[in-house]
Every structure is written in C-alpha cells, then in structure tokens.
A and B are shown apart, each in its own frame.
Chain A
Amino acid sequence: METNIEHILTQYPKNDRGFLIPILQGVQTFYGYISPEAVDGIAAFTGVSAGEIFGVASFYAQFRFTRPGKHTVKVCLGTACHVRGSGRILELMERQLKIKDGGTTSDGQFSLERVACFGCCALAPVLVVDKDVHGRMSSTKAQKLLKKYEG
C-alpha cells in the first residue's frame, strides 16, 4: 500500500514548506518511489499544491515516480571513473540487463541508474548495488558481480 504515508508525515510539522523535501525523501526511502497518491497526501499535509510538489520533486535527480527493481545498480560516472572507463561499464550493464539507464528490467529484478559521483574516486571505477559499494571495477568483475545478485 503506497498510499499510507501517515507514519512518515507525522514526524514533521504541518503546513511547513521547509520540510517538503525531507518528507519526499522519507516517502521514497520507505516505498522506493513517489506515487501520485503519495503526492496528494503530501499536498494535503504541507499545503503546497500537488502540481508544485511534482514540480519540485521532478527537479531533483533523487526522486523517481515509478517502482524500482528489487536491486538498484548505480554506475558512477564521476571524473575519475570516467577517465578509468566507467562509460564502458554502464554500456555493458545496459546490454546485460537490456535496459537503458533509468529503466527497470521487465522481471522487476534490477533498476539501472547513473550517478554523478559517489566520492570514492580513488577506487575508480565504482559500482554501487543497493547499499554495497564496489570499487576497482572492470567489465569482467562487473559481470560477475551482477550474477551474485541475480535470482
């Protein structure tokens, strides 16, 4: 039930726009994405219109409006990762998972995202699966890693 966001809202003061982004983050952390129903609930609570909430949420890269896969693969495309070949790793992931970045596999197992920088530049290229950070990646290592999360 993605519509029940009461337990998140009650942690914040009512009608205070300054908490709009923390509330959106709370909902996304709990449900993995922001559903239209959740936006309506937040609108009623904060007094900001649903349209404006979409406007704010869609501005930031963090928020997504569709359900994510079971695992989220994030490829770092920071400068150090880029010069050490992370673009090729992203392409490989896209081919392996048969989705583009931002997409989710049809079986709902994996979502693929690109991230500007994780700040682990010294261990470039970096791949993050769910909450696990994997450094010193290569195409072959990345392929093996993906297998670990399959099934």
Chain B
Amino acid sequence: MPMLGMPTLGELRTKALAEWQALEQNDRTQVLIGAATCGQAAGALDTIKTFEDLQAKHGLDLMLTKVGCIGVCYLEPVVAIRKPGQPMILYGNVDKRAVNLLTQNWLMGENPCADLAIGVFGDRAMPGIAPISSNRMLGTERLILRNCGIIDPTRFEHYLARGGYIGFERALSLSPQQVIDEVKKAGLRGRGGAGFPTGTKWQICRDQPGKEKYLICNADEGDPGAFMNRSLIEGDPHVLLEGLLIGGYALGAKEGYVYIRAEYPLAVQRLRDGIKQLHELGLLGKNILGSDYSFDIHIREGAGAFVCGEESALMGSIEGKRGMPRSRPPFPATSGLWGKPTVINNVETLSTVPTVMRIGAEEYAKVGADRSKGTKTFALAGKVKNTGLVEVPLGTTLRQIVFDIGGGILDDKQIKAVQTGGPSGGCIPADRLDIPVDYESLTAAGTIMGSGGMIVMDEGTCMVDVAHYFLSFTQNESCGKCPPCRIGTKRMLEILERIKAGQGEVQDVERLEALAKTVKSGSLCGLGHTAANPVLTTLRYFRDEYMAHIVEHRCPAAVCPALITYQVTDDCNGCTLCARMCPNNAIAGEKKQKHTIDTKACIRCGACYDACNYNAIVVH
C-alpha cells in the first residue's frame, strides 16, 4: 500500500498538468536549452553561461531550463524561447553571438530574429518564421521521441503531464497476460537488431515455472555511429522506466536491470535520478500504487566491451564475470541471469511499450509497414547535410531519409552508400536507396536493421577502408572464446590490410569470401555471425573498388594512405601553415610563394590537407 498521505497518481497528474499549463501561460520568459551530450559538444554550456551573464547584467527574469536533444544535432546548440503571450520559437546555432542578438532583439525587444529561427511550435506561424513541422527532421510523427527537447528530463511532473504513466496504469488494470496480448497485437518487434517479436519473447519467459524472473534493458549502445538510446534516455528517462515497469508486470519479474554504457555518464545520471523519484512516489518498490505488484530497477554500467551487447555476454557481465557469450540454447527466456528466466529488451523496444499501452495496440499498428509496425529512430550521421536523430514510420525508404529528411549530401557531392546496423550491418549502394527500411528488406539487401545507426557515405569514402574499419573494430572486440571469430576475423583483417596497402592479390577476394562464410556460420554469438557483413556487402556491391586497389594499385576515393599522393595547387598563397603542420618536414617553400611537397618524405598523414585554409592541397 502507498504510504499514508501519499498522493495517488491521479492527484499527481492533476498537479503536474496544472504546472505544465502554467508554463504555457507563464508571465516569465522560458528559455529551453538543448544540453544533452551532443548539445554540450556543440557548446551548449557556453550558451547557458552567456544567458546567465546577460540575465544578471540586464536584470531579466528568465526561466532557464536544460532539456534533452530535440534531434536536429546539425543546428546545435539549439534553444527554444517562449515569451509571455507568444508561441515558443526554436532557434539553431545559438552561440555567444546569437545569444547576444536574441537577448537584445527578442528578450528585450520586439524582433524575434527570424533569421536565427528554425521554426515556431504549434500551428501559429509568425512573420518570417515557418511552423516547426516544416523542418523535415522535426516534421515526422513522433511516438518515441515525442518528449525529447520539450520537457525537463529531471522533472517527473513534466513526463506525467505529457501522458506519462497512463500506459502503466492501464497495464495494472489488466492481467499480465492481457498486457502481453496487447504487445503481440501491436506487432512490436525488437529494436535492437534482429527484430524478434517482443510479445512472443515475453510470453516464453512468463510461461516458465518459478517465481524469480528478470527483465534486463540492454542500453549498451556499442555500435559506433549509433546514439539513439543515449539521446532518448538523456531527454526522456521516464519513458524507459515506465516501459520497464510495464514489462516487469507482464513477465511477473520483481527485479529489472538497465545495463548501460559507462561512456554515457549523463544518461546514467538521468536514470538514477528517475529511479529515485519513482521510489519516493511509491511507483517502485513494494506494492506499487497499492497493487500486488512489486518491482525494483538496478543500474549496471558497462565497462567498455562491445560483445556485452550480446545478451548472454551481457548477463555474464552483470554476474561479475568476463563478458563472454555462451552457446544457446538454452535461451535467456528459459535460463538467463543467475540461471533464471530472463527477458532482455533494447531501450527503444521498452520505450515504445508505454505508447502501445497508452494509445492501444490497434492504434499503434496503424503506423508502419506490413510486418514492421510502428516507428523507429535512426541516428543519421556521416556525409549528410542534416545530421541528427530522426524518427520515421518503418517502411520509409532510405532515399526519403537521406534526401528528404537528411537534406542530401554535404557539399552536394555524390552519394555512394548508406551503412546501417553498425559493425554487424552492411553498406547499401546508392542505386538501391529506394528499398523500404523494414526488417525483411534490409536483411535481403545483406545488412540488418540493427539498433538504428545510419552512416551516409559519399564519393570520398573508400569502401575497402570502410570494410577494414568495421572489421578492425569487431576483431578488436572479439572476446576470443570461439576460434572462427577469433582467428577468422584476424585473417580477414590481414587480407584487407594487404589490399589497402596495394599488395593484394586477385585471389584475395575469394579468400575473403570463403573466410567470411566460415566466420558467419561457425561463430558462437551474434558478434561473429555478423562480423563479416560489412566485408560481404562491400564485396557484393563495390567489387570494382577492391579490384582497383588490387590490380591498378589505386584507391578511387583517395583514402588509403599507401595509394595516394598529396600535391599543392596554384591556389597556394604561401601562408606556410602546411609546412608548419607537417610532422616530417616534407613541405618546402618561401613565404608568399607556392609550396611543394616532397612525396618521398611525405608520410601521407593528411595534416597539411586538413590545415590548409585555401583548399590548395589536393589528394590523388
């Protein structure tokens, strides 16, 4: 039973709604600053400091609030401002200079600085400022990210006011079996990679005998190039906690774990704060909200091993062992953590469950594709104009994501490929961009949905180098337990190194393919099963690039150091910067005279190329 005098969830919600509405009709100016890790990397802390300084200097009455990332990382630092009686306006690239301009003209004046604005929230457009939905990245329907960048992630009340914990209340009013049936009916599939139906997984675990069961959230977002989970937890931690509460109820589990990367300190903090709030309110612990349901959530920080994203390795890590996978079956749903039935779900899967319970399975299943229901977030990065976090209905095509939402390729270069699924996924070539993003279509193309990393590559990306990059990653992260993965990836990597160095043989391509098939079929866990995917897809779609390296000793994208030369063009004005940057004194030239590179002394580190402010160094 809740402690005597403790308010019910209904009472809390009424209060929270009043607080939220008061914010909207406030007589103080509200300033929301996107201060997730990505925002901070772009300088959000300086932005906050500048607002604070100006507030003190001019005696302004501002409510400064740190919020999560709204998704438009390419425009960060991002700030939303709501003046009393005015709609909220979202601004991008708000550095010190922009803060000064906004303070002078909008906070202290009547000019909303339309040139800095991304858009205005709600339906009311303002002169020169379009509605926020006209930004393609922000204009998609949001079921998962709906609170990110809008609510204060440290305030339980904000989440509650935005429909939070309605799904959990509904779940409690149903039987656990009814909750599982609802999740099944919604067609929700695992968002972590393989796409196993979530309801079915829950059912298998629920049907196991015994009272001790565990629910684990896999927040070990180890794929390089993926940041969906970090962003979501930093911006809206309670949606995950609510998902865990519902999942625990459905499974009959008393304990849940969140296994989260130590590289995400802010996300860890958000979860710890959220769990504390839930304990204080009687939403975690014994007899939650007066029901028979008792549940607690523990945090375990990952210690930097990619293989721990594999579920059996992850459980080993929680048990205090080396994170090495074990052979399956038995699957975790029958024998998992400490040998008890365990369900392991991805962050996004669990964070979708509250929405399913709140709006109902039928409503949820209306979104998305035939066998891939709902929406999915993707971390869009690489050589694309608009980088950031997007949420799209499953079934959207890659072309729509890269060109409509992502705005196309940086510097208007030619797109070469899109990489999905991180080191376990593959590269999809430009001529196949019209495939829809759903589990089956991506698998048919040789890649996987993965957790949602999406890296765009242009003509300046070497596909042999990309294959080498991913394989050196998986090789480094291979736990060493099974020989196909331990030795096979090593041999494959050696062949790729040879090809990159211009010393490859024509037969190397077949050797790679044969090894790849062995590693794929013979490895113990998912890391090995998928490690060859980047090599196999690049061989399948970009074989000519491999051949250019092997036969012509040429790197068409001018990336592989052994196969390129740097040259100074006539655009050189003799500023001497490159000569000073060169670590090997390979650049000579007088001041204000064109410089030259001694190709024998050049170690092809690219320092001159990066340093030149006049694009006067070219690479062949």
Contacts and interface: CB of A to CB of B under 8 A. Distances in A.
Contacts of A46: 320
Nearest to A58: B322
Contacts of A19: 320
B41 A134 contact: yes
A126 interface: yes
Contacts of B41: 120, 123, 126, 133-136
A122 B387 contact: yes
B229 to A, nearest CB: 8
A85 B353 CA distance: 39
Interface stretch (B48-56, B300-308, B493-501, B520-528): B300-308
B581 to A, nearest CB: 7
B37 A88 contact: no
Nearest to B461: A83
Interface residues of A, number: 49
Interface string B539-556: 000000000000000000
Interface in A56-76: 56, 59-63
Contacts of B323: 59-60
Given A60-B304, A79-B422, A140-B610, A119 B605 contact: no
A117 B607 contact: no
Contacts of A61: 303-305
A25 B382 contact: no
Contacts of B73: 120, 122-123
A18 B387 contact: no
A115 interface: yes
B42 A136 contact: yes
A78 B261 CA distance: 15
Nearest to A116: B224
A120 B38 contact: yes
Nearest to B337: A18
Given A88-B605, A123-B73, A59 B221 contact: no
B583 interface: yes
B263 interface: yes
A62 B262 contact: yes
A56 B300 contact: no
Interface in B212-236: 221-227, 230-231
Given A21-B300, A78-B225, A119 B230 contact: yes
B610 A62 contact: no
B383 interface: yes
B455 A79 contact: yes
B226 A119 contact: yes
Interface string B184-228: 000000000000000000000000000000000000011111110
Given A25-B303, A121-B379, A123-B42, A77 B224 contact: yes
Contact of B381 (A116, A122, A131, A139): A122
B76 interface: yes
B303 A21 contact: yes
Contact of A20 (B76, B320, B583): B320
B225 A133 contact: no
B119 interface: no
A116 B455 contact: no
A40 interface: no
B610 A122 contact: no
Interface string B387-413: 111000000000000000000000000
Nearest to B308: A60
B264 A119 contact: yes
Contacts of B263: 115, 117-119
B40 interface: yes
A87 B305 CA distance: 21
Interface string A104-138: 00000000000111111111101000010111101
B223 A123 contact: no
Given A25-B303, A119-B227, A120-B227, A18 B319 contact: yes
A28 to B, nearest CB: 9
Contact of A48 (B223, B227, B320, B469): B320
A131 B263 CA distance: 10
A8 interface: no
Interface residues of B, number: 63
A92 B584 CA distance: 12
A121 B473 CA distance: 17
B429 interface: no
A123 B40 CA distance: 10
B453 interface: yes
A25 B479 CA distance: 20
B240 interface: no
B419 interface: yes
Contacts of A91: 605
A46 to B, nearest CB: 8
A22 interface: yes
A136 to B, nearest CB: 7
B457 interface: yes
Interface string A80-114: 11111100100110010000000000000000000
B454 to A, nearest CB: 10
A17 interface: yes
B380 interface: yes
A117 B225 contact: yes
B583 A56 contact: no
A24 interface: yes
Contact of B37 (A21, A25, A133): A133
A82 B469 contact: yes
A56 B611 CA distance: 43
Nearest to B72: A122
Given A60-B323, A79-B455, A88 B610 contact: yes
A55 interface: yes
B605 to A, nearest CB: 6
Contact of B382 (A77, A80, A139): A80
Contacts of B221: 119
A62 B227 contact: no
Interface string A1-37: 0000000000000000111111011000000000000
B225 A121 contact: yes
Given A60-B305, A92-B607, A120-B37, A78 B224 contact: yes
Given A119-B264, A120-B38, 9 more contacts: A59-B324, A77-B224, A79-B419, A82-B224, A83-B461, A84-B382, A119-B227, A119-B230, A124-B381
5 contacts: A21-B320, A88-B606, A120-B73, A134-B41, A140-B610
Interface of B: 37-38, 40-42, 73-74, 76, 221-227, 230-231, 262-265, 300-306, 317-324, 379-383, 387-389, 419, 422, 453, 455, 457, 461, 466, 469-470, 473, 477, 479, 581, 583, 605-607, 610-611
